[in-house]
């Protein structure tokens, strides 16, 4: 499949609140997002289209045309209050998951017949986004960070082999990283909250797991790495095993950035 992606940006305010819930219930589920005055974001939207390559132009679709039609759609959202100024969030909350589906409908309806929408990703913040490809389910993702020391050293290998395999990472006194973990959860969204997952609960679950690693030495303080090397591959599998039971089968993938240059993705033991 050949795809083309163009990035867009717009800024908007919104508020999460359900009139049929108590203040306490709204607060528990939506946290700070319940402020009556609203708050705002710089949204980033990645629009991916696919279609047949036109041999005359060498394009699926002219990106200038895509830019114009998506900007026309976004005019209704840019510098607006999503709850108050658009018609789309009278009966549903303007969550990232609902917003990506609304934008899908609007953009898909505007596309010329030569192209079709393949994927939308919308970032509400650099560390919070939703993915949608027109199916029943939506993916919600959030990035978290933790800092830890470690030493790459395999008990099964000799001292010399360890030095040869791991190089600088085998330094006996250890070294450390700022790790970033992207957690993606896929499922139907709850019509009451407009969310695939309760955001506050997701934060609590992920932090509970990451706090056991944060500001620690992985090999000395985390039992799972006492007898196996704390490679990013082993860490991402460990994190999957810790997180998956907390997400009731909805964890779809984990992406662990060890540095800005090394990234490891795991989609669980049952996927190919």
Q: Which chain residues interact with Zn ion by CB under 5 A?
A: 169
Q: Which residues contact 33 (CB under 8 A, 6 or more apart)?
A: 14, 15, 16, 39
CA–CA dist 252, 267 (Å, integer): 6
CB of residue 160 to Zn ion, shortest distance in Å: 20
Concatenated DSSP letters of 48-116: EEEEPPBTTTTBSS-HHHHHHHHHHHHTTTTTEEHHHHSGGGSSS---HHHHHHHHHHHHHHHS-TTEE
Residue nearest to Zn ion (CB): 169
Which residue has 């929408």 as its token pair? 117
CB of residue 257 to Zn ion, shortest distance in Å: 12
Between residues 83 and 252, which has the closer beta carbon with respect to Zn ion? 83
Between residues 83 and 186, which has the closer beta carbon with respect to Zn ion? 83
CB of residue 61 to Zn ion, shortest distance in Å: 32
CB of residue 41 to Zn ion, shortest distance in Å: 5
Instruction: Residue 41: name the closest of 125, 128, 98 by CA.
Output: 125
What are the C-alpha distances in Å from 186 to residues 100, 110, 124, 212?
A: 14, 27, 17, 25
Between residues 114 and 169, which has the closer beta carbon with respect to Zn ion? 169
Between residues 4 and 169, which has the closer beta carbon with respect to Zn ion? 169
> Is 197:247 a contact under the CB 8 Å cutoff?
yes
Between residues 6 and 41, which has the closer beta carbon with respect to Zn ion? 41
CB of residue 253 to Zn ion, shortest distance in Å: 22
């Amino acid at each position: 499949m050949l795809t083309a992606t163009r990035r867009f940006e717009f800024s908007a305010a919104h508020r999460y609140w359900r009139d049929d819930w108590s203040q306490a219930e709204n607060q528990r589920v939506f946290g700070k997002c319940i402020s009556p005055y609203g708050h705002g974001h710089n949204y980033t939207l990645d629009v991916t289209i696919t279609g047949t390559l036109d041999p005359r132009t060498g394009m699926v679709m002219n990106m200038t045309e895509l830019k114009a039609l998506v900007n026309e759609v976004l005019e209704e959202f840019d510098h607006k209050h999503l709850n108050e100024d658009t018609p789309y969030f009278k009966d549903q909350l303007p969550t990232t998951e609902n917003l990506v589906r609304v934008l899908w409908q609007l953009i898909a309806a505007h596309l010329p017949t030569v192209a079709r929408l393949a994927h939308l990703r919308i970032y509400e913040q650099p560390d919070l986004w939703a993915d949608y490809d027109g199916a029943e389910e939506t993916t919600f993702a959030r990035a978290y960070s933790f800092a830890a020391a470690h030493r790459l050293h395999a008990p099964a290998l000799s001292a010399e082999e360890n030095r040869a395999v791991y190089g600088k990472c085998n330094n006996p006194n250890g070294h450390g990283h700022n790790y970033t973990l992207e957690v993606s959860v896929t499922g139907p969204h709850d019509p009451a909250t407009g969310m695939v997952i309760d955001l506050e609960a997701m934060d609590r679950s992920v932090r509970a797991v990451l706090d056991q690693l944060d500001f620690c030495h992985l090999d000395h303080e985390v039992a799972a790495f006492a007898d196996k090397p704390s490679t990013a591959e082993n860490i991402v599998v460990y994190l999957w095993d810790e997180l998956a039971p907390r997400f009731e089968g909805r964890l779809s993938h984990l992406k662990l950035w060890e540095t800005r240059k090394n990234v490891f993705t795991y989609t669980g033991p049952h996927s190919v």
